[in-house]
Structure 1
Amino acid sequence: MTGNTITKPSDLSCTPSRAARELGLKRGEFDLAVHLGRIRTAPDEGGGGRRVAHAEIDRLRSADGFPETFLESVRTVGTTDGAALMQVTSVRFTRLARLGLVVPVRFYLNRYRAVVWLYLAEELRQFAADKNHTALLNGRTPEGMRDQLQEGLDLRPRNWRGRHLGFLLRQADGPWERAGALSALLDPVQVAETVQDPYERAYLNRFRPDPPASGAPGSPAAHLAERITTAEDPDEISWLRADLAQVLEEARGHRPAPRPTSEPAGPRPTSEPAAPQSAVERGAPRPTAELTASRPIVEPAGAPPIADLVGPPQSPSEHPPEPAPEPGRSRGMLGWLRRGSV
């Protein structure tokens, strides 16, 4: 059998669901590994989402200790298990998290609509093993940190947003996608103030990623998740808006936002269109007497009868009497044709 074998892009990659099965991962573990950059994905040329190359699956499988080592690198724990892992109380662990010393990687809402933060077990072990953190784990919390906690400081939502933004920017394939990632953490009012062109805002919304699923749209759980995913601190909002404005300038140069055409495609007329000229005004040859006599008058299709062109008889009280026609002349279109032959 001869001929060239054509390799399709779909033959070199697979969907995330199939990649998770081939790697022996649960879908949540696979998605977290993608968020952390442990698994590289590529956009589908057909517009069907992202795909995983078979070469990337082979790379992961060939790593030492796969799959146990890989699974441990994406294992997450809550407050209780995290405190046990670091050998501290749950209260101290929560303080460390609120101060931003340990950063959550995921969150979900339980049945009581309470936020449950999840942390990478690998990062918690590294924090506990650092000798510079011994005082924070075993000693008294510094006075400045205690004052911040008493004032209600909680950096867990903000730190999660920063981590989530990093994931979105890694997945962005162009300036419009990066602008959409930045806008995903801003309130729509903040976006409207930064992107004042309505056509650019509409185009930007195409690249705005969906928020993490948390309850049905419009539900109390969804509103709570929206509060977590939206920037609240003034300084955080300020730098997000500044970055959005900067990336938007790059996006305009890369590909301007489409907008409707306001003018017709053809040239605009410069003056009023001229009234149609008659055949005599255009210089057309006048019909001769022979042609007039031998050629019957044919009314155009769909045109009113010649008698209707003359109009109905009018009352003498409405208009002054018209002069009597000259002998030998006929009125109407037939008369005009005959006069043209004189």
Structure 2
Amino acid sequence: MSGSILTHETTTTLRRTGATGEITLSPGRAARELCLKRGDFDLAVHIGRIRTVPDDSDDRRGGRRVTRDEIERIRAAEGFPETLRESVRTVGTTEGAALMAVTKARFTRLARLGLLVPVRFYVNRYRAVVWLYLADELRQFAGEEMNAALLKGRTPEGLRGQLTEGVDLRPRNWRGRYLGFLLHQAADPWTRAAAVAALLGSVEVSAAVRDPYERSRLNRLRPVPPAHATPGSPAARLVEEIMTAADPDEIDWLRKNLAAEMEAARRYLPAPRPASRPVPSPPDGEETRHEAEETGRMRGLLGRLWRRDP
């Protein structure tokens, strides 16, 4: 029984792909071989720790696989798997503040000002957004001399003014980071355009892309949100809010990028449209009878007019 299970897994997770015929692994199989949880594997791909190749069999043209050579390269690195796991370790506000030796309040201020960029988020059971940061990036920020003044003493006046005005750049910075990942992984111009459109509201997309068939194609290629929630739930609405650009300048920038990506997508491959339905011809003799009836009525009308006295 165990033999049949192993055979099944091999045939469904190992595949030769691309012009070179490289042996590739599914994400799940690759995660196991790299001693990572699936979520950590996805993050490692996101930040470039693991290189992937397009999945030629994916109908959405967004799937990725990992070559056997890439697996061996990572496994051969010194300190594997601990160093790989540590490179994708994420922390929240409490652990991040402790790692940087600052208070939670200061950590939150730095994050709201955009100085600490979150790499992922989730909505907890209290419907609050929990931002997560790469531990490596926090250590690097805390270790740079130029940031020493931000970690102790009073926050500079200009930054304090932004906080007073309610600035919070965490969602926007996350969107920028996420879009960079999507564009890097995009297989063609249409998936690039769909990645940009995913961060705009439906009204903005409709204004930028007038053709309904093009919008339909963008919707089919729309990437799955990285934070999952039950559709229609308050958590799902909160995720959608974070996914959607809000500031006018960010919206304008995304719309300009979407227009440029759409121009490239149209040149690459026009959006599919339904085939035009030909108008059926009338049965043999039907058109002749119709014309004869019309001609007879016209002659009768003219005859009555001619018979009228002047």
TM-score tier after normalising by the smaller chain length: 0.7 to 0.9
C-alpha distance in 1, partners of 2:287/2:92? 81
1:151-166 matches, cutoff 5 A: 151-166=165-180
1:9 aligned to 2:20?
no
Identify which of structures 1 and 2 has the higher relative contact order when contacts are C-alpha pairs closer than 8 Å and 6+ apart: 2
Cross-structure match for 1:44? 55
1:174-323 matches, cutoff 5 A: 174-262=188-276, 264=278, 275=288
Residue 9 of structure 1: SS of its match in structure 2? strand
Which TM-score applies when normalising by structure 2? 0.82
Q: CA deviation at 1:273?
A: 8.8
Residue 210 of structure 2: SS of its match in structure 1? coil
Amino acid paired to 2:185:
Q
Identify which of 170, 175, 180 aligns with 2:184. Answer: 170
Identity %: 66
C-alpha distance in 2, partners of 1:34/1:188? 29
**Unmatched 5+ stretches in structure 2:** 1-13, 290-310
Point out the structure with the larger helix share.
Answer: 2
Q: CA deviation at 1:8?
A: 5.7
**Unmatched 5+ stretches in structure 1:** 1-6, 277-342
Q: CA deviation at 1:262?
A: 2.6
Amino acid paired to 1:248:
M
C-alpha distance in 2, partners of 1:37/1:84? 26
1:60 aligned to 2:71?
no
Cross-structure match for 2:304? none
Amino acid paired to 1:37:
G
Cross-structure match for 1:27? 38
Q: Could you list the per-position Cα deviations for residues 15-47 of structure 1 after superposition, in whole angstroms to 9, with x for gaps in the alignment?
A: 111111111111111010011111111222222
C-alpha distance in 2, partners of 1:273/1:173? 54
Larger CA Rg, structure 1 vs 2: 1
Q: Return structure 1 stretches of 4+ with deviation > 4 angstroms.
A: 272-276
1:128-139 matches, cutoff 5 A: 128-139=142-153
Q: CA deviation at 1:265?
A: 10
C-alpha distance in 1, partners of 2:260/2:124? 38
Q: Could you list the per-position Cα deviations for residues 255-301 of structure 1 after superposition, in whole angstroms to 9, with x for gaps in the alignment?
A: 011112335399x99xx99749xxxxxxxxxxxxxxxxxxxxxxxxx
C-alpha distance in 2, partners of 1:273/1:181? 54
CA RMSD of aligned residues (A): 2.1
